[in-house]
Amino acid sequence: MNKEHHKDFTATQWLIKLINNDHFAFQVLYDLYSTQLYSNLLRIVKDTDIAQDLLQLAFVKIWEKRHLIDPEKDFLAYLIQITRNLAYDHFRKVALDRKLETHILSLTNEAYSHIEEELIYKESNQLFLSAVAKLSPQRKQVFTLCKMEGKSYHEVSNMLNISTSTISDHLLKSNKFIRAQMSIPEVLVSIFLMFLC
């Protein structure tokens, strides 16, 4: 259609042509309304690229749903409602993406923290067992029976035929030796203090 002639048509007439699959009518309506709709979107989303994307999406929807358009109703109001809904959908998606990102990040941090704690525990456990292994044979035996197997002083006294005071002395010196051998921060040593008097 000659561009000089298209100004003779009203918006309603262009809408009727659009409903009847007229591509030129679609372009005319885009030219008529896109600038105002873009400005409205930009005020809402505050981003030129997003505003442009939503504008294009709005007109894609117009073309796809052209058969549902009522040419007697206010087409601009219809367009404004579509673009506003698209903007709100955009914000909902952004909020959901952020929530999902935060959730994934928290799971990642939690998993990392768990792995880190496990590695620290394994490292400390190796230091602990190494320190116990360095005890003299009798102290090692007393420490293992009392602190790692949970036997009473009386039981160990009967088993090894030594006095409870000797057992206490062995444990006291063993504790001191193990603390010195585990040259790591006190907060990590505390993991193993449950074994010590």
First to last CA, the chain: 98
- Residue 58: both structure tokens together: 């709005």
Residues 6 or more apart whose Cβ sits within 8 Å of residue 75: 11, 12, 15, 29, 33, 69
Q: Among the CATH numbers 3.10.20, 1.10.10, 1.10.405, 1.10.150, which is that of 134-195?
A: 1.10.10
Least confident range from 2-11, 45-54, 171-180, 185-194: namely 185-194
Dihedral pair phi/psi, residue 158, rounded to 5°: -70, -40
Residue 192 confidence (pLDDT):
53
Q: How far apart are CA 97 and CA 148, in angstroms?
A: 50
Token couple for 73: 């109703």
Mean of the per-residue pLDDT values for the chain? Answer: 78
3-98 is a CATH 1.10.1740.10 domain: yes
Residue 10 DSSP one-character state: -
DSSP-derived letter for residue 194 is G
131-190 residue pLDDT tens: 888 888 888 888 888 887 888 888 888 988 988 888 888 888 887 787 777 765 444 444
45: tokens are 């989303």
CB atoms within 10 A of CB 98: 10
Token pair, residue 193, equals: 């203090």
CA 87, 89, 94, 95 torsion-angle sign = positive
The helix (run of H) or strand (run of E) holding residue 176 is helix 164-181
Residue 92 has pLDDT above 70, yes or no: yes
pLDDT at 196 over 70: no
Residue 114 has a pLDDT of 60
pLDDT digits (tens, 9 = 90+) for 55-85: 999 999 899 888 888 888 888 888 989 998 8
Where do the domains of the chain lie?
Answer: 3-98, 134-195
Residue 55 DSSP label? H
> What does residue 38 show for φ and ψ, rounded to 5 degrees?
-60, -45
- What is the sign, positive or negative, of the torsion defined by CA atoms of 6, 9, 13, 14? positive
